Amino acid sequence: MLGFATAVKLTNGPLAAGIVVTVALGLSVRHAAVIALGGMVSLPIVIGFWSKGYADSSGGEGLDLGALYQLRFISPNATESTIFTAWMLLLLLPLAVLGCAKVTNWYRRALLIVPVVVTIGCYASYYVTNQHPRFYYVILPAIFVLQAGGVVLMSDAGKRRLAEDPLLATNDDGLRGDGAASEEGQLPAVSPPVRPSG
């Protein structure tokens, strides 16, 4: 992220920096340094490219980044997105939030959450985010992983509920808690023997 791709997407820099910090806190500074050094291989290209400024696509003149990032853009970006509407967020976020509780430790959880938070922070106040939802596509894999965790969490909760309910749980004899035979424990009906005539 802090490599060659940053030459065309500067926000990869803060995203990579967040991951480097997370690795430093969760594993070691040595591991974080290896990741940072690997990303900095393309740093001269990034510096040479971005030192020329952010150019207007129509006139080729430099633009003021302060004019592109303003707090007043947060509201339209949050309410007028062409993809991430309220219904789409309702589809994506609840399961992902539940999935955070399923991830086993803070370090793994942070590796999934930090890219989401940093990306939203970078583009929430950008002037055309509502027209270009692709800016958020980079965080969808992390969202999908957390959603999967949410599904597993709900499935585990359902299994525990079934096991604790005396009317639904079955014992070793195939009987439910109320004494009735479950489908698995139901014995096939056997006709009584018939005495031969004569």
pLDDT tens profile 35-74:
888 878 777 877 777 766 666 555 556 666 677 888 999 9
Q: For the chain, what percent of residues have pLDDT higher than 90?
A: 32
Single-letter code of the amino acid located at 164: E
Q: What is the reported pLDDT for 67? A: 78
Write out pLDDT tens, residues 68-77: 888 999 999 9
d(C-alpha 99, C-alpha 150), whole Å: 4
Check pLDDT > 60 for residue 105: yes
d(C-alpha 103, C-alpha 106), whole Å: 8
Q: What is the reported pLDDT for 190? A: 54
Report the chain's mean pLDDT, rounded to a whole number: 80
Domain residue spans of the chain: 1-63, 69-182
Q: What is the reported pLDDT for 194? A: 59
3 burial via Cβ count (<10 Å: 0-12, 13-18, 19+) = middle
pLDDT band at 112 (very low <50, low <70, confident <90, very high): very high
Residue range 133-161: mean pLDDT, rounded: 91
Residue range 76-81: mean pLDDT, rounded: 90
Q: What is the reported pLDDT for 52? A: 65
Q: Which DSSP state fits 187?
A: P
